[in-house]
Amino acid sequence: MPTVHVFGRDHINTDEIIPARHLTTDVESELARYAMEDYDKDFVRRVQPGDIIVAGADFGCGSSREHAVWALRGAGVSAVLAPNFARIYYRNSINNGFLALECEGVVEAFQDGDQATLDLKGGTVTNTRTGQTLRFVPVPQFALDVQQAGGWLEYMKANETPAPTPQEEQHA
């Protein structure tokens, strides 16, 4: 069951998610070593594959770097839940097959270290300590398909239709 890491402050920017001084690579496992380090130096030691971040409003504001998504995904984070996201971060999340789930009241519903169950189809997250269940904005099937494929490029490759041959075009 995923552990929740609460970063309750609003406006956590991409430089706090992955500091610019570490943008020397696009390898997720390398970026992961520095995820959230300016906000919480111990985060990468605590996070486990599948864990969830709960954050305040406007998560991912600032520059449009995809590295912010890559660093969290590389660290093993499976989803970020926040009341809302900076639009470019939200789109980068979808494009990279990462879950950014908009959920009102999520910061107040969790404490750091709580465990949660996430129901993507049902659109709910439940705090297993308190039993409280919150609804999040449903994830469109398209975004789930991209997430399952591992990102936009992988999705496009898997759903690519071959170009018609000249003979096929002639008969069309």
Give the pTM: 0.88
What are phi and psi for residue 108, nearest 5 degrees? -75, -20
What is the total count of domains within the chain?
A: 1
pLDDT digits (tens, 9 = 90+) for 46-103: 999 999 999 999 999 998 889 999 999 999 999 999 999 999 999 999 999 999 999 9
Composition of the chain by helix, strand, coil, percent to 5: 35, 20, 45
Determine the Cα–Cα distance for residues 3 and 168; give it in Å rounded to an integer.
54
Give the CATH number of the domain where residue 154 resides.
3.20.19.10
Confidence band of 138 (pLDDT split at 50, 70, 90): confident
Rounded to an integer, what distance in angstroms lies between the CA atom of residue 82 and that of residue 29?
24
Q: Contact at 8 Å (CB) between 54 and 83?
A: no
Q: What band does 156 get if pLDDT is binned at 50, 70 and 90?
A: confident
Q: Domain of 138?
A: 4-171
One-letter identity of residue 10: D
Residue 53's H or E segment, with its range, is: strand 52-55
